Chains A and B, each alone.
Chain A
Amino acid sequence: MIAKTTHIKDTKKLVGSLPAIRYTEPKYLYLAMANARCPKAELFIKEGDHVNSCQVIGMRQGPFFEQPIHATCSGTYLGLEKHYHRNGKLTDFIKIENDFKDTLDPSVHQRSPEEIAALTKEEMTQIIKDCAMVGLGGSSFPTYIKFQTNKPIYTILINGIECEPYITADHRLMLEFPYRIMDGIKYVMQAFNCKHAKICIKSKYHDIKEVYQQVIKEYEGSGIELCLVGNYYPQGWEVEMIKNATGIQLKPGELPSNQGIINFNVSTMVGIYKAIKYNMPVIKRFVTITGDGIKFPKNFRVRVGTPIKDLIPLCGGYRNPEKEKVFILGGPMMGASVPSDDCIITKTVTSIIILDKTNYVEEPCVRCGSCVLSCPVHLEPVQIMNAVKAIDKERIKKLNPLKCIECGLCTYSCTSKIQVTDYVRKAKLFAKL
């Protein structure tokens, strides 16, 4: 089929209607010592120490910034253990035995509305930095760096599109915590002294639309509005979202703040709400466990650090365990696959997707052009693939693979079942040389 691919078939509608399961308290919680942006960490506690929930127990150190590690439950520190991180690497995790008391750290306190109204942007940035807020949509980009921009901001866009197939975590979050999201948006608008905010959702999500039409009425005059955008993939990519929500087309590599726009994920909004209202880091998040390899797909609200193995029995276990499975943390189009189910939910894990492995036979390319038609950044994946096969560096550079956002549509749409995205990734390495 020679056509642009925009829709990816999935079971989102069914799973998105399932309420999130709460109070799943695991016996042990694991907190990552390192992540993609901070390769090493320093611990402030010794084995056997008692920790409180939300207590700072260590500091991750990256090349550009430091990030405090917060305990996500109260209990005893038992040492380090190796598990798989979301990026697919074996990483040291801090093991904490849960005492199920959930004693909060003294640093957690509620701020009164007057206190919050008096906060300046710099103070908010400091609170967010101390709470280790990162982009919870999956990017894990530190939020305080976004807050440090000096450019005037006219519009705040809240990304609730969740365009990746299968994931419904943000969908449930938007339905279950509308007031937290609205308050979070209000705080951010106060910080940037900005009058407009738009909550972007897919126009086919009628349930979210109805909820927010009601909720926005209670926030009259705040400048927050609902913005319905397209239903296609990759609508959630910030350039596409900004284009459809405001009509502004960003140049490749241009920061949204250049155009007076700043965008956040909805779950980041809830995080900011908690940080500013209660001085509390992210200790819980929504995750979806779905895919054709699991018996009963479900949404969960779990503590950060929950091992995924504990959640699998709640979903009824694996379907067809004799078949080979692919275990994906994140969306099925861009998420990384991990080699074992021994992995941990970190702050940025939005979903766990378990698919039966399908072995596709690669046929020769017949140049149908579906990848070219589907590419959202107007590249020519097939030409890049041929250039990589020929190891022609000059041609690779001319084809500009660094624009690629790795959305995976070229592989998805390939009629010959070629892993085109892998070739484009290689081309990116070549082009950087």
Chain B
Amino acid sequence: MMTIVKETAPHLRRKATVSRMMTDVLIALGPTLIFSFVVYPLNTLWTLLISLFIMNASEFVYVGLRNMMSNDGQKHTFKERFEYSYKGKITKNNFLSASISAVIFTLIMPAGAPIYAVIIGSLVGIIFGKLVFGGLGSNIFNPAVVGMLFAKFCFGSQYVTYVPTWYFTIPDVASGATPLGLLSEGAFSNITQYPLLDLFLGRIPGTLGEVYKITIIIGLIYLLIRRSIDYRIVVSYLGTFVILMLIAGLSIFGLNNNVNPFEFLAYNLLSGGLLFGATFMLTDPVTSPINPPSRYLYGMIAAVITVFIRLFAALPEGVGYSILLANMVACVLDHYEWSSPRYTWKKFLAMGLIIIISGLVTFLAIYVGGAYHG
């Protein structure tokens, strides 16, 4: 006898799933990971294995603890308790998302990080970046960035410079100064010791994966074609970054005619974790706002913070911090009082004000205040 069941409309679903989106991100991370394996085989291998293990195990334990059987006065075998905790409550999405965090964490760790920094970083990242907020889908911050920054704060002085001489073309690179470090010291003329092609191919000291722009761009194109990330965030982030860096470059050009503003822009675009952050970290749907205009605003805010940290802060790199700060703004942008998928003149005004004010600040700080010398 055929059974007929009732269900509520709609009765159709589309094919796309979260697992597909997550698998796409892993595939897009693939080329960068392979490049990293080729250049730093051992460091990448153990960083990846440690972080994969820690993040997946934490996720697994967390799901078990969260769905633990309450004490009902009866004896239960371990198998019963295990099934109660996990059956139907853990899916492949839990492991896919933890694995994405682990791979991103691996690729943004510096090449010379000691083993305990990797262990503690990945543990703090998954627990305080994700699980304390409620696990998959509820986290406010990007777990990989939280872990990376925590490790950097605590063990940053223990990082060693590790240079694969066979790949790098610059012989005196052993000093370990990263291009962004040089940029931050206000020494744009020094940075030209690194050709732009070296920045593009990652022949510079730095992190395990963020430096290979060519593979990151391949991943970005793949994700945009598969629409597994929202192009709005990438466009607004990179667009605002380019506008502000051009303003900064032109202001520096006004002070010092030796600096080519477009070269300055190109160095800034290709150094640090900018492209990697824009592709894999800022676009994480869980930590970004929901509706399209908010996503544009979110990318712009992150770009402004990145530019300000890079140019005016005491830190060389601002992508990680800017992502965490923008993650905090995301829930404000999503507040029900003003969130709406419609583009209103108020939102356009906000976007315009962000560009104008931050552009003005950049110009004044460099040209009048002398905050940055080329």
**Residue positions of A touching B, CB distance < 8 A:** 1-3, 5, 8, 88, 165, 318, 321-328, 332-341, 353, 355, 357-358, 360-361, 363-370, 372-373, 375, 378-380, 382-383, 387, 395, 398-399, 406, 408-409, 411-417, 419, 421-422, 425
Residue in contact with B4 in the complex, picked from A339, A353, A399, CB distance below 8 Å: A339
List 13 additional A-B contacts (Cβ < 8 Å) besides A1-B226, A335-B9.
A8-B12, A8-B14, A324-B4, A326-B5, A327-B4, A335-B11, A339-B4, A339-B5, A355-B11, A361-B91, A408-B10, A412-B10, A413-B14
What is the distance, in angstroms, from B330's C-beta to the closest C-beta of chain A? 9
CB-defined contacts of A409 to chain B, threshold 8 Å: 10
**Bound: A411/B14 CA distance, A:** 9
Closest 8 CB pairs of A and B: A408-B10, A364-B137, A1-B16, A321-B2, A333-B10, A332-B11, A368-B285, A339-B6
Q: CB within 8 Å of A: which of B1-26?
A: 2-14, 16-18, 20-21
Q: Are B91 and A363 in contact, CB atoms less than 8 angstroms apart?
A: yes
Q: Are A378 and B340 in contact, CB atoms less than 8 angstroms apart?
A: yes
Q: CB within 8 Å of A: which of B167-185?
A: none
Closest to A425 in B: B8
**Bound: A8/B336 CA distance, A:** 30
Q: Are A383 and B339 in contact, CB atoms less than 8 angstroms apart?
A: yes
Interface of B, helix, strand, loop or mixed by DSSP: loop
What is the distance, in angstroms, from A353's C-beta to the closest C-beta of chain B? 7
B151 within 8 A of A: no
What is the distance, in angstroms, from B63's C-beta to the closest C-beta of chain A? 11
A337-B6, A363-B93, A383-B336 known; A411+B13 contact, CB < 8 A: yes
Interface of A, helix, strand, loop or mixed by DSSP: loop
B79 within 8 A of A: no
Interface string of B79-99 (1 = CB under 8 A from A): 000000000100101000100
B259 within 8 A of A: no
Q: Are A2 and B136 in contact, CB atoms less than 8 angstroms apart?
A: no
Q: Are A1 and B228 in contact, CB atoms less than 8 angstroms apart?
A: yes
Q: Are A369 and B230 in contact, CB atoms less than 8 angstroms apart?
A: yes
Q: Are B4 and A367 in contact, CB atoms less than 8 angstroms apart?
A: no
B290 within 8 A of A: yes
**Bound: A339/B226 CA distance, A:** 39
Q: Are B137 and A2 in contact, CB atoms less than 8 angstroms apart?
A: no
**Bound: A412/B14 CA distance, A:** 6
What is the distance, in angstroms, from A245's C-beta to the closest C-beta of chain B? 23
CB-defined contacts of B16 to chain A, threshold 8 Å: 1, 370, 413, 415
**Bound: A415/B226 CA distance, A:** 14
**Residue positions of B touching A, CB distance < 8 A:** 2-14, 16-18, 20-21, 88, 91, 93, 97, 135-138, 226-230, 285-286, 288, 290-292, 295, 334, 336-337, 339-342
What is the distance, in angstroms, from B347's C-beta to the closest C-beta of chain A? 13
CB-defined contacts of A88 to chain B, threshold 8 Å: 6
| CB-defined A-B contacts under 8 Å, sample of 30 | A1-B226, A2-B227, A2-B285, A3-B227, A325-B2, A326-B6, A332-B11, A333-B10, A333-B11, A337-B11, A357-B7, A358-B13, A360-B13, A361-B88, A363-B91, A364-B136, A364-B138, A366-B286, A367-B137, A368-B18, A369-B292, A375-B341, A378-B340, A380-B339, A398-B336, A409-B10, A412-B13, A415-B16, A415-B18, A416-B17
Residue in contact with B18 in the complex, picked from A323, A366, A406, CB distance below 8 Å: A366
**Bound: A378/B341 CA distance, A:** 6
CB-defined contacts of A339 to chain B, threshold 8 Å: 4-6
CB-defined contacts of A411 to chain B, threshold 8 Å: 10, 13
What is the distance, in angstroms, from A251's C-beta to the closest C-beta of chain B? 14
What is the distance, in angstroms, from A365's C-beta to the closest C-beta of chain B? 5
What is the distance, in angstroms, from A12's C-beta to the closest C-beta of chain B? 13
CB-defined contacts of B17 to chain A, threshold 8 Å: 363, 415-417
- B7, B11, B21, B295 — which one has the most chain A CB atoms within 10 A of its CB? B11
Q: Are B336 and A332 in contact, CB atoms less than 8 angstroms apart?
A: no
Q: Are B10 and A338 in contact, CB atoms less than 8 angstroms apart?
A: no
Q: Are A334 and B9 in contact, CB atoms less than 8 angstroms apart?
A: yes
Q: Are B137 and A334 in contact, CB atoms less than 8 angstroms apart?
A: no
**Bound: A132/B372 CA distance, A:** 81
CB-defined contacts of A325 to chain B, threshold 8 Å: 2-5
- B12, B16, B97, B229 — which one has the most chain A CB atoms within 10 A of its CB? B12
- A368, A373, A398, A408 — which one has the most chain B CB atoms within 10 A of its CB? A368
Q: Are B12 and A372 in contact, CB atoms less than 8 angstroms apart?
A: no
**Bound: A383/B294 CA distance, A:** 14
